[in-house]
Amino acid sequence: MSRSLPDEIDVAVIGAGAAGIAAGRRLAEAGVATVVLEARDRVGGRAWTVVDRAPHPLDMGCAWLHSAGRNPWTAIAEAAGFAIDRSDPAWGTQAGGTLFAPGEIEAYRADLDGFFARLAEAAAAPGPDRPASDLVDPAARWTPLIEAINSYINGTSLADTSIRDFDAYEDTEENWRLPAGYGTLVAAHAEGLPIVTGCPVARVDHSGPRIRLETPRGIVRCRTAIVTVPTPVLASGHLAFFPALADHRDAAAGLPLGVADKVFLSILEPDALPAGHVFGAKDRAGTGSYHLRRFDWPMVEAYFGGPFARDLERAGPDAAAAFALDELAGLFGADIRKVLKPVAVTAWAQDPFSGGSYSIALPGHAGDRSRLAAPVDGRLFFAGEATHTSAYSTAHGAYLSGRRAAEEALAAIGHQNGRPCGDGA
């Protein structure tokens, strides 16, 4: 990664997550002078694999190649020689334990299918957008578990989930994984790009003939800029614009990041747990989703979402691990505590560079994704998963948005036949 700032550049990219890396890669392919400025001391953003906390790579952020058959990261992984696990993720099943009586899993699935059918019908109906909570009976038997499922999918509550936005998400139901880590793949795609890490952009001054990006390490002047930072950074004003961009700031506020956190537990005696998936509880929204021995590794990957995940973060770094141990002990017996060791916990809501995990439109704000993606004055372009209308919340949505923004920037500088033309060529 580069450690020096250019004084002048054709296109600057703010953020080296999946969107910024995709934009930077497209600009590099076009031979355009560019730089990618990243606030963190690493690349990848919310795609982050750690390799120093367990014998196996741990995806702290995104982990699944959603819609894998058409996901561009799948082709990138194959071209780079990454192994891909195409086995069933087993969501919605219960491996062992006595949580569900015979027939209850089938009853829960039928209720969940009914919820999705009502969602599609409501999204297609005329009239204003509504919260997804309108589509469930609070007193119904499986509503707490449906609320939990929504928290895993959207990172928030049904009451804060737009029906139209939820229904707009496109999913082929192919969900594959990378044993080496999704974050590892995204970081590998950044290799060779002109990225400056540890360089947060504080202010984008687009009042003059050149855009000025103000950073603690100096000023970068550019003809055009691509902004890929998460919506809380825009909504909070931590990245400021002059002149101000009220419409983009309002759109970002309508697309907050939900929260999805993980706890990784090492299994000291692998045979003590079956392989597969379990829910921690069936009668409350505040419960975990647990993948046991994925890749046949001696690991448990616990997943918490929505308001409950935020509550666990507020309770301190040990609260999520303690809760996971309690739920697993309730399923498999108290002795299971002796063979489980917490090795890593995430807290994405407290991350100052993201403020959450992935975007969800608040009720009435499904249209804010297109508003956020709108260019400004033919010089400022916006990317990131929150700007994609049907693949939001995913690394492939981020990738596609980054490539789209790069094409917009190339057109703006008059790029032709592999070379920029016009002013500054």
Q: What is the pLDDT of residues 367-408, one digit of tens each?
A: 999 999 999 999 999 999 999 999 999 999 999 999 999 999
- Is the pLDDT score of 3 beyond 70? no
- CB distance 280 to 328 below 8 Å: yes
Confidence band (pLDDT; 50, 70, 90) for 425?
very low
Tens digit of each residue's pLDDT (9 = 90 or more) over 196-226? 999 999 999 999 999 999 999 999 999 999 9
Structural domain tally of the chain? Answer: 1
Rounded to 5 degrees, φ, ψ at 59 are: -85, 105
Residue span of the structural domain in which 220 resides = 8-49+181-256+361-420
The CATH number assigned to the domain holding 247 equals 3.50.50.60
Residue 44 domain flag: yes
User: Encoding tokens for residue 242?
Assistant: 């002059």
- Identify the CA nearest to 116 among candidates 192, 178, 184, 171: 171
Residue 233 domain flag: yes
pLDDT at 424: 36
Residue 75 domain flag: no
Residue 364 and residue 157: Cα distance in Å, rounded? 15
User: Encoding tokens for residue 95?
Assistant: 């491996």
Tens digit of each residue's pLDDT (9 = 90 or more) over 134-174? 999 999 999 999 999 999 999 999 999 999 999 999 999 99
Residue 415 domain flag: yes
- pTM of the predicted protein model: 0.96
Residue 42 domain flag: yes
Task: Give the angle subtended at the CA of 337 by the CAs of 336 and 342, to the nearest 5°.
Answer: 120
- Is the pLDDT score of 186 beyond 70? yes
Residue 287 domain flag: no
Averaged pLDDT for residues 272-297 = 96
User: Encoding tokens for residue 214?
Assistant: 């103000």
Helix, strand, coil % over all residues of the chain, rounded to 5: 35, 20, 40
3-state secondary structure of 142: coil
Residue 317 domain flag: no
Residue 16 domain flag: yes
For the chain, the distance separating the N- and C-terminal CA atoms, rounded to the nearest angstrom, is 25
